[in-house]
Amino acid sequence: MTREALRSAAGPAAGVPARRYVLAAAVVMALGTVWCVGFLVGGVGSEAFAYTFVPVGGAISTASVAHMVRRCDLNPVARSFWRALMVAMGLITVGYGWLAVDMLTHAAQAHTRTMPMPAAACVGAGFALALFAVARVPVVTTGGVDWWRMLLDRTIAFLGCAAVLWYAGLAPMLSAREPWSRQAMVLVGLAFIAAVGAATKVSYIAGGPVDRTAIRLIAASGGVTAGIVAVIAVRFGLIAAVPAQAVVMPLTPVLATLGVAAQWRACLGLRRDTARSGKLLPYLAVVAVDVPLVAMAFGAPLEWPGRVVVVAAVLVTALVTARQYIAYEENARLLGDMRVQEERLQYEVSHDGLTGLANRALFRERLTAALGTGHASVLLVDLDDFKTVNDLLGHGVGDRLLVSVADVLRAETGGDGLAVRVGGDEFAVLLTAAGADPEDLAGRLLAALDQPISEHRLLVQASIGIADAVPGATVDSVLRDADVAMYTAKQRGKAGSVRYVDGMGEPVLAHMQLGGELRRALDNDELRVVYQPILRLDDQRLIGVEALVRWHHPTRGVITPAEFIPAAERTGLIVPLGRYVLRETCRQAAAWLAEFGPDALEKAAANVSARQLHDPDFVADVTAALTDSGLPCEHLVLEVTESAVLRGQQVSRTLYELDSMGIRLALDDFGTGESSLSLLRAFPASIVKLDKSFVDGVEIDDGQPAAANARQAVARAVSQLALALGLDTVAEGVESAEQAAVLRDLGYTHGQGYHLARPMPASAVSALLHRQQSMAAADL
């Protein structure tokens, strides 16, 4: 039966059986007390009757243990302890019952008769079994030094308590004018040992499995009564046997049944046993062993019991010395561990966990100190296109590449400064050495990074911004200048270094502010979608549109995409911006199809950035735009660049998922990226858009056929490959009739550009569709 079941079954009456046993034992003790007073005062009854109260109380305490073992849901260790204790109580009860019968049958000699040896043997066996049961109770689990420390503490406590009980209890009994029998003194000694052992043991029991209060009461049941018996035996001689047997020794069953009740309540969860360590017990034992020494110092005779105490005191002192030495060694070890841990924590707080370089906090601390000397330079190093490494090769390869870059920085910086990982793929170097040239270091770093590094032999480039600490500079101003210089290096083509000069921050700051204003523009509906028609080159018929976005700034007027798209990419606003353009394109295309018929417009194209393709919600955004607008999937074209297609497995999965939905994909600005023509076979494209750079000059006829063929070679190759793969072609940037004619001869079917039609609002496209529809009706 579980504890909860017992508790619910027992209810408020759970402790009634235990209380009944306690009450019965107390009644026996009270009756013994009343009889003893009557005997001593009025001579009531025979002295032999005094020996009957102990076995009656013992039977009650034994029955209480048996009842508790049967009814309580004890764990195996506690059950074994209480069963052994029940047998021990039974043996002690049998021994004192034997003594009672012997005294009653020899009542005339009760005053001088000693305890029969079989009875003493039973009681002695009971005490020994009780000691064994206590010894088997597990203590706090320890090992190594802690085990030796606990052993010393328990030994000190045992010797200190035993010395006091010897000096004040057992030794006076041995030297009393009317000494008791050997059996009685042996049993008193065993009771003392059991009490001291239990008291010492209970201080190191970790809150179970045997209730600590229960063990204390069991220890007191033997120790308290034995101590009182020893005192009255020395003080009153043999006559003390009557109060000892009738009043003092019946106290043992009372305390024992109280211990059983404590275990019963703990078993039912009615009382929580709070685990407390025995840290004070050895010190109390040291004080206890000094008590007899103080007594002898003030005149007590130094006889052989006192000499035993002196020996015990010497042993305790030696053990305390050993204990303190162990504590000293342990404290020294703990202090050493704390120093090591503190150094490790300080290192972790001030260094990057991946690369081992100094982190931003230490960087700012050292830069602050360097500004006080007036000489410091900062190099801010940002890896170019590091995200591509993570996307294509995984973050594990990216982390190892960062470690290799850190090794390069550490080696090139040497003792001239502090190499730092600021965060992500951004590093820094603080130069403080006199004569150190930051531009020379930047050159060495770029040269080192121009070679393959890391175990994967990867090439990585970096943009480096350099800033010098000027008089009055602060940490933030130096870092801001270095950041501006680094950003300028990226704008100039990456893989280079730029040193900050006054005024450099203004255009960079304006560009950064543009990103903040773009967020406001999205919220305030300042963006407009315009559409550039895509025409058939043979008859100039409108077959589709490409959606483009314009920003109508409240103070700066119309801002072109070339200005704000880089800011959108950098800030991540390209995702909500692209979502807005996509939804508006789908809505407007669906409106045109509803107005002019399903054949009026073959395709409506929207540009998609690599950042959008990495967005896990992008496919859901496309699905929502089509569903909300009602535009059929086959009328939507998504244009992606070659570089975006090569951004890893996530992008590839997204593109194939879109293709499976029936959405057509166009490879935009073809020929300008880092791909090869084989990309057309690996990428699920249905349209190839030739970049304007290959359209420019195709129409030039300078009378040199070889030069003309060279100018048209890429355009011709792309057209032939697309034709072989069954792909549509669109030529971008057509700016003259001659270009259109040449492209048509090269095999291009569709084109777009200022010669064919400029980007225009939706209303202008509607007008074109209306005119085209009217012309078709007139031809009929």
Catalytic residues: 732
Rounded Cα–Cα distance for residues 546 and 544 (Å): 7
Answer for the pair 203, 157: CB distance below 8 angstroms, yes or no. yes
Rounded Cα–Cα distance for residues 316 and 311 (Å): 9
For the chain, how long is the longest CA-to-CA vector? 155
Query: Nearest 5°: CA angle at 697, between 695 and 699?
Result: 95
Rounded Cα–Cα distance for residues 136 and 55 (Å): 27
Answer for the pair 700, 738: CB distance below 8 angstroms, yes or no. no
Q: Is 184 left (phi over 0), alpha (psi -120 to 50) or beta?
A: alpha
Q: 492: which residues sit within 8 A by CB, 6+ positions away?
A: 498
Specify the residue for token string 């009889």. 35
Q: Residue 462: beta bridge partners? A: 383
> Residue 396 burial (CB < 10 Å; 0-12/13-18/19+)?
exposed
Query: Nearest 5°: CA angle at 350, between 345 and 353?
Result: 80
Q: DSSP for 146-157?
A: HHHHHHHHHHHH
Torsion angle in degrees (nearest 10) through CA of 354, 355, 361, 367: -170
Answer for the pair 751, 534: CB distance below 8 angstroms, yes or no. yes
Answer for the pair 577, 527: CB distance below 8 angstroms, yes or no. yes
Output the six-digit token pair for 366.
């050292």
What single-letter DSSP state applies at residue 671? Answer: T
Rounded Cα–Cα distance for residues 418 and 150 (Å): 50
Answer for the pair 691, 669: CB distance below 8 angstroms, yes or no. yes
**b/e burial code for range 321-358 (CB count within 10 A of at least 16 → b):** eebeeeeeeeeeeeeeeeeeeeeeeeeeeebbeebebb
3 state DSSP class of 542: strand
3 state DSSP class of 779: helix
Rounded Cα–Cα distance for residues 254 and 30 (Å): 11
CA 522 to mean position of chain CA atoms: 39
